[in-house]
């Protein structure tokens, strides 16, 4: 997304990575360069991309996760998703954008810029109608595009503790997690922080979104405990597989904005990112169907949808640096590894990651982040750009490994501490009777079906 500044090559125009430009202030008129002018084509594309990413949260995740839970809990998933869209949007414009993409600490010469941008853009102070980014889009559009990423990330965690969390505990946890886990990591990777300075590549959210949310999901699943009627190796039947398919379709569609929009321009990089996103996803979906067919004797709709999401997750960090062969390999690898996590590892270790948020997003994010260091190619990044181990640069794979480990450790520690605090003062898990009869009635006073 914003991780690096790539050079425009003859074969493919690669847009400048926005976070690096923002953090250096290169787009300011006072930096000795002419202020960028508005590009209506790029602006129009980014408005569309922003809308597509919103579709991933509502209704995409709401339908995908809502279809996977039981009938008595579908509204709880929808309500949790709606809450995130509302409260995280407010947090983002109030302090999140400044924390992630502000330059206050850098301008003050503070070493704190390695971990946070500053508070110079709190409540979007200084962001005006005439503020334009280097790719010619209004900064307000960039603010909103990034807001959609902030929304989808905590929404992914819902799948781990579905059907057994108190809404009030959930509210407090999500607010604190967004502030303490998402905002800092967005700066570290995209806003000029230490992982970006180290050279980590994360085009559209492998570490910031998927590893961050997926590892948090695993910690939450382990700490909140299994559902009362959960039996390892015997998945609870989804109540509406049609919803699962519709949610997957909206996620697949929205992901084009997620990945292809992350270059912040309507150019060759956007076209390449769209291509590899689609191919990796198609490969993963077909591979999961085939594995399902071989081992379970029947290809399932839920399996195909899960495979598609795994492919979307894994290609995300690599979408701006890999080509077609890399997309095939990443999609295939994601499907095989995530299937093993969901169908073999989870039953063996008997943890209740209810909707496989860790098995798909966490593990898929790790696969994608590491394979970015393998398949990155200068056919996409341009002369002098990043290159992976497959093409001789083992250093990049090492950088990706470090960034992955840092992301895993940070997310795990923050989530563990937050769980303990919120559970102590608010409470996390619902009573046994509430879980048995359903969260929709007890927590929200509603029923999805009459």
In this structure, are residues 447 and 440 in contact, taking their beta carbons and an 8 Å threshold?
yes
Give CA separation, 366 vs 53, 272, 395, 407, in Å.
Answer: 22, 22, 17, 10
* Buried/exposed code over 293-324 (b: 16+ C-beta within 10 A; e: otherwise): eeeeeeeeebbbbbbbbbbbbbbbbbbbbbbe
- The Cα–Cα gap between 136 and 409 comes to 37
Q: What is the CA 71 to chain-centroid distance, rounded?
A: 27
In this structure, are residues 52 and 251 in contact, taking their beta carbons and an 8 Å threshold?
no
pLDDT tens digits, one per residue of 8-21:
332 223 333 333 34
Residue numbers in the chain where pLDDT is lower than 50: 1-32
- The Cα–Cα gap between 200 and 402 comes to 8
- The Cα–Cα gap between 436 and 442 comes to 10
Give me the sign of the Cα torsion angle 133, 92, 161, 218.
positive
Residues contacting residue 204 through CB under 8 Å, at least 6 positions apart: 1, 258, 259, 262, 273, 316, 317, 319, 320
- Phi and psi torsions of 323, nearest 5°: -110, -165
Find, among 365, 5, 368, the residue nearest to 197 by Cα: 5
Q: Which two tokens stand for residue 295?
A: 């081992």
Q: What is the CA 336 to chain-centroid distance, rounded?
A: 20
Give CA separation, 138 vs 3, 15, 142, in Å.
Answer: 20, 16, 7
Predicted local confidence at residue 19, as pLDDT: 38
324-340 and 268-296 helices, crossing angle to 10° = 40
In this structure, are residues 305 and 288 in contact, taking their beta carbons and an 8 Å threshold?
no
- The Cα–Cα gap between 164 and 266 comes to 43
In this structure, are residues 355 and 74 in contact, taking their beta carbons and an 8 Å threshold?
no
Q: Which residues lie across from 16 on neighbouring strands?
A: 5
Q: Which two tokens stand for residue 171?
A: 């509210």
User: What is the length of the chain?
Assistant: 450
Predicted local confidence at residue 226, as pLDDT: 95
Burial class (CB within 10 angstroms; exposed 0-12, middle 13-18, buried 19+) of 9: middle
**Angle ∠(427,412,195) on CA atoms, nearest 5:** 135
Predicted local confidence at residue 92, as pLDDT: 98
Find, among 66, 64, 67, 68, the residue nearest to 312 by Cα: 64
Predicted local confidence at residue 21, as pLDDT: 40
Predicted local confidence at residue 3, as pLDDT: 40
Predicted local confidence at residue 231, as pLDDT: 83
CA torsion 87→89→90→91, rounded to 10°? 90
């Amino acid at each position: 997304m914003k991780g690096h500044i790539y050079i425009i090559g003859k074969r493919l125009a690669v847009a400048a990575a926005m976070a690096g430009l923002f953090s250096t202030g290169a787009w300011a008129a006072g930096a000795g360069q002419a202020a960028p002018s508005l590009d209506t084509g790029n602006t129009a594309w980014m408005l569309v991309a922003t809308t597509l990413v919103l579709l991933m949260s509502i209704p995409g995740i709401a339908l995908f996760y809502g279809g996977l839970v039981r009938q008595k809990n579908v509204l709880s998933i929808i309500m949790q998703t709606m809450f995130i869209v509302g409260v995280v949007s407010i947090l983002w414009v109030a302090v999140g954008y400044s924390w992630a993409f502000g330059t206050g600490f850098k301008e003050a010469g503070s070493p704190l810029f390695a971990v946070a941008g500053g508070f110079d853009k709190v409540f979007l102070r200084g962001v005006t109608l005439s503020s334009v980014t280097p790719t010619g889009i209004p900064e307000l559009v960039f603010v909103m595009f990034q807001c959609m990423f902030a929304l989808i990330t905590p929404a992914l965690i819902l799948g781990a503790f579905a059907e057994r969390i108190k809404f009030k505990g959930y509210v407090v946890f999500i607010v604190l997690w967004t502030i303490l886990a998402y905002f800092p990591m967005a700066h570290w990777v995209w806003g000029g922080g230490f992982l970006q300075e180290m050279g980590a590549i994360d085009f559209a959210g492998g570490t910031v979104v998927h590893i961050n949310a997926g590892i948090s999901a695993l910690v939450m699943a382990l700490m909140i405990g299994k559902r009362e009627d959960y039996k390892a190796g015997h998945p609870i039947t989804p109540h509406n597989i049609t919803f699962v398919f519709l949610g997957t379709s909206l996620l697949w569609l929205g992901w084009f904005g997620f990945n292809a929009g992350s270059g912040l321009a309507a150019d060759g990089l956007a076209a390449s990112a769209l291509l590899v996103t689609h191919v990796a996803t198609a490969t993963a979906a077909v591979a999961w169907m085939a594995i399902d067919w071989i081992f379970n004797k029947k290809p399932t709709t839920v399996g195909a949808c899960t495979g598609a999401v795994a492919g979307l997750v894994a290609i995300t960090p690599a979408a701006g640096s890999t080509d077609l062969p890399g997309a095939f390999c990443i999609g295939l690898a994601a499907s095989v590894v995530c299937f093993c996590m969901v169908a073999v590892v989870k039953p063996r270790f008997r943890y209740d990651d209810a909707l496989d948020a860790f098995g798909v997003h966490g593990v898929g994010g790790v696969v994608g982040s590491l394979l970015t260091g393998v398949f990155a190619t200068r056919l996409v990044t341009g002369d002098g750009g990043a290159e992976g181990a497959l093409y001789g640069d083992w250093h990049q794979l090492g950088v990706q490994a470090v960034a992955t480990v840092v992301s895993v450790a940070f997310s795990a520690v923050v989530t563990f501490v937050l769980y303990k605090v919120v559970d102590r003062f608010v409470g996390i898990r619902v009573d046994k009777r509430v879980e048995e009869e359903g969260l929709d009635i007890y927590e929200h006073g509603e029923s999805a079906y009459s």
